[in-house]
Amino acid sequence: MLSQYRKEEIADWYDQHSKSILSFILLMVKDYQQAEDLTHDTFVKAYLYYDSFKNHSSEKTWLFSIAHNLTVDFLRKRKPKLFLKEFFLSQKDTNLLPEDMIKLKEDSYELYQALGEIKDTYRKVIVLRKIKGFSIEDTAKILNWSESKVKSTLYRAMPVLKKQLIKEGFFNEEALRRY
């Protein structure tokens, strides 16, 4: 009986959060198929460790934390050869993202491009706080950081993103002042 309830709850969470988690992972791994696999793994792990979810945070925060940890583990395990191959073949196929991936605040191709060029820690905190809308507290839980680290990293990250957007010619200084 408990197993059936768990399956239904995880299925509901999948319906509610899978697209958001997929887009978060995609920003880190820059490979759609791998992002799909890691998204699937996130929900499998949530099912397996369902009993460890103590409602200290929302299920969304818990799922993003699992997704973040799985993605970091994946990136650490990749062999240096693969990293170098991706680096030299860095003409990423960002034009072929599925239509449903490009929605709401996340629909800016320019933003994806600029985020891909900045430091990983900056990218994570911008995506979670500014794009996904997590609170400072939830972002800290997902990244396993202190709240002050989230604040200071975001404070440093936003000017770097702005500079990157200007550098790539997506915006000029005049247009960005309006935001």
Segments making up each domain of the chain, as ranges: 1-93, 108-179
Identity of residue 154: L
Tens of pLDDT along the chain (179 residues)? 567 888 898 899 999 999 999 999 988 888 899 999 999 999 999 999 988 887 777 899 999 999 999 998 888 777 544 544 444 444 344 443 444 333 434 446 677 778 888 999 999 998 898 888 889 999 999 999 999 999 999 999 988 988 888 887 765 555 445 44
- In this structure, which CATH number among 1.20.120.790, 3.40.50.300, 3.40.718.10, 1.10.1740.10 belongs to the domain 1-93? 1.10.1740.10
Domain 108-179 sits in CATH at 1.10.10.10
Residue 159 buriedness (CB in 10 A; 0-12 / 13-18 / 19+): exposed
Pick the closest to residue 64 from 154, 157, 143, 130 (CA basis).
Answer: 143
| Separation CA 36–CA 159 (nearest Å) | 31
